[in-house]
């Protein structure tokens, strides 16, 4: 597809379970971002990848959250031992920006809505 | 202090009105600033970048005040279709885009 694709679009799980959320960025975009957004709040930064490496993971709330991007394209956000407070929309964005600068445009997917019961 | 702060609103304005939003940021070394728009239950989309000299795009004007560490967005001649949440975005360092909570705008007929 032409845009950022996220799967699943909706995920309902029970407290304590493990969850994986997938992001397929726009082809050729080297930068990939994960955010989470709760109702009435702005997107909260989680992690940013440049290529395969996590350039900034300062937003990950705790060690239950982990993200990978092994081949520099698709990324997976992994959440262990989910808690009710993890319920949110998890947004992925990609950007063609390189080390030389950026255009300010992040292209977002439609998000994965996670509900932890 | 949060890195990016915005008045959540909502701002309720009639069609044709002029409305302005401000956003403050805490990191004085921040170099890049943007406004994004987010419609209800949709993903955010870039509205415009904010340049040091200020910039305009049709009915929208963005300005940056580095001394006071705030950016603003002015919307003239509001349309019903302008109803949305406007997100202030700052890059405090590197390439990590930090979003504010957003300001909700409701334009009424």
What would the pLDDT profile of A19-41 be if each residue is shown by its tens digit? 999 999 999 888 999 999 999 89
Within a 10 A sphere around the Cβ of B52, how many other Cβ atoms? 11
Interval A49-61 mean pLDDT? 92
Q: How far is A45 from chain B (nearest CA, A)?
A: 6
Band (B24; pLDDT cuts 50, 70, 90): very high
Contacts of residue B99, Cβ cutoff 8 Å, sequence gap at least 6? A35, A42, A43, A44, A45, B4, B36, B44, B87, B88, B89
* Residue A75: pLDDT band with limits 50, 70, 90: very high
**How buried is residue A106: exposed, middle or buried, by Cβ count under 10 Å (0-12/13-18/19+)?**
buried
Residues 70-109 of A with CB under 8 A from B: 91, 97, 102-106, 108-109
The answer to whether A104 contacts B49, with C-beta atoms less than 8 Å apart, is yes
Nearest to A48 among B34, B96, B99 (CB): B96
Q: B33 CA to chain A: closest CA distance, Å?
A: 8
Please compute the mean of the pLDDT values over residues B7-21 and round it to a whole number: 95
- What is chain A's mean pLDDT, rounded? 92
* pLDDT for the residue numbered A102: 56
Cβ pair B91:A102 closer than 8 A = yes
Please state the rounded mean pLDDT for residues B1-7.
85
Q: What integer is the mean pLDDT of B16-41?
A: 94
* Cβ-defined contact of A56 to B96 (cutoff 8 Å): yes
In the predicted structure, residue A57 carries a pLDDT above the cut 90 = yes
């Amino acid at each position: 597809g032409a845009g950022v694709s996220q799967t699943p679009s909706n995920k309902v799980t029970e407290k304590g379970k493990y969850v994986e959320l997938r992001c397929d960025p726009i082809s050729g975009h080297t930068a990939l971002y994960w955010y989470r957004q709760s109702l009435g709040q702005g997107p909260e930064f989680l992690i940013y990848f440049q290529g395969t490496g996590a350039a900034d993971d300062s937003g990950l709330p705790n060690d239950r959250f982990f993200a990978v991007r092994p081949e520099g394209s698709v990324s997976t956000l992994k959440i262990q031992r989910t808690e009710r407070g993890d319920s949110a929309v998890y947004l992925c964005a990609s950007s063609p920006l390189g080390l030389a600068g950026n255009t300010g445009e992040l292209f977002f997917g439609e998000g994965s809505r996670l509900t932890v019961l | 202090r949060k890195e990016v702060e915005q008045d959540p609103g909502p701002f309720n304005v009639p069609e044709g009105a002029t409305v302005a939003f401000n956003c403050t940021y805490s990191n004085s070394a921040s170099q890049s600033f943007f406004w994004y728009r987010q419609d209800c239950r949709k993903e955010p989309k870039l509205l415009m970048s904010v340049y040091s000299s200020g910039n305009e795009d049709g009915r929208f004007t963005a300005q940056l005040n580095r001394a006071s560490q705030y950016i603003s967005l002015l919307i003239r001649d509001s349309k019903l279709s302008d109803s949305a949440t406007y997100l202030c975005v700052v890059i405090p360092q590197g390439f990590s885009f930090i979003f504010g909570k957003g300001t909700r705008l409701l334009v009424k007929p």
